[in-house]
Amino acid sequence: MVRTTVVLGERERAALVALAAERGQRGFSALVQEAVQAYLDRQGRSGDAIERLLALRGSVGGQAGARLARSAAQARRSWDR
């Protein structure tokens, strides 16, 4: 598992907190994980394809890896605009 940040509206957050409380859970991380997995399943993006992508982790190095890292960082910065 990895920690990440998800931006939610107040209504969505309140609904998740309420649902988690109904389930006897302290936080709503499990609900978010469940929702993301359900979405990926509906999109056909789970299973083998994800495992193949994860297997590629660390396979790009050197100058190509540095260029890719810079490009990804630039793309992420544009998402915050």
Q: Residue 16 in 3-state DSSP?
A: helix
- Residue 80 scores a pLDDT above 80: no
Q: Which value, in Å, is the radius of gyration of the alpha carbons in the chain?
A: 17
* 44 part of a folded domain: yes
* 28 part of a folded domain: yes
The count of domains in the chain is 1
CA distance 74 to 69: 9
* 3 part of a folded domain: yes
pLDDT tens by residue, 10-49:
999 999 999 999 999 999 999 999 999 888 888 776 667 7
* Segments forming the whole domain that contains residue 17: 1-48
pLDDT tens by residue, 52-76:
777 888 888 888 888 888 888 888 8
* 30 part of a folded domain: yes
* 57 part of a folded domain: no
Residue 68's region, left for phi above 0, alpha for psi from -120 to 50, else beta, is: alpha
* 33 part of a folded domain: yes
CA distance 59 to 51: 14
Query: Does the global pTM surpass 0.95?
Result: no
